[in-house]
Amino acid sequence: MTGETPLLKGNSFTAVFSKAKSTFVLDINSELGEFLHFYSTKNFCPGYSAGFYKNSPWIGPIFTTEFFKGHFKSLNWVGWSFGDPEKSTTKSKADFLFSYHQFSLVYKWVECYYVLQHYQSNLPEHVEGLKLTLPLSKNFFVFGGWAYMKRAEKNLWSMGLTFVP
């Protein structure tokens, strides 16, 4: 991912592991290390997440929904930090760190989405985007995307390769 948001900067590595109805996600970049764990049901996947952001630990619930055979998706996520990431401090009391709400319309290899994100005391940010995913083979997919952060007036670009064994 290129561009900059309060929680993401520069290149990121993401690994996803699934078994039966359980999915584990690991994300790492220069400022963030996090894991997410989901339990899948038919249209609703509740989960939890935890990690470190700028040396401050955080935790939070996360859940996804999927309707109309995957043509409508949402991701809802809230996190609380045990410290102030902007000062790289830790403490025993949890404070609001972020909220992230994404709503997507998907058709074949095209995804259009809207995100409402809020980070600490910053004003909420509105993000609109488009993502394309194309198969290279049975196991490899390439994706690319563009998003626009309205309040920050920033373009975000993403691209990557997905391997599904």
Q: Are strands 72-81 and 22-29 parallel, antiparallel or unpaired?
A: unpaired
Query: What is the residue extent of each domain of the chain?
Result: 12-123
Question: What confidence tens digit (pLDDT) does each residue in 31-89 have?
Answer: 888 999 999 888 899 999 999 888 889 999 999 999 998 899 999 999 999 988 888 77
Question: What confidence tens digit (pLDDT) does each residue in 6-26 have?
Answer: 556 667 788 888 888 999 999
Distance in angstroms (rounded) separating the CA atoms of residues 157 and 110:
15
Centre a 10 Å sphere on the Cβ of residue 151 and count the other Cβ atoms it contains.
11
Q: Which residues pair with 8 in a beta bridge?
A: none
Q: Are strands 140-149 and 32-39 parallel, antiparallel or unpaired?
A: unpaired
Question: What confidence tens digit (pLDDT) does each residue in 147-165 have?
Answer: 999 999 999 998 988 888 7
Distance in angstroms (rounded) separating the CA atoms of residues 41 and 43:
6
What b/e readout covers 43-69, taking b as 16+ CB neighbours within 10 angstroms?
eebebebebbbbebbbebebbbebeee
Q: What contacts 109, CB < 8 A, 6 or more positions away? A: 132, 133, 134, 135
Please state the rounded mean pLDDT for residues 93-119: 94
Please give the angle made by the CA atoms of 111, 115 and 116, to the nearest 5 degrees. 170
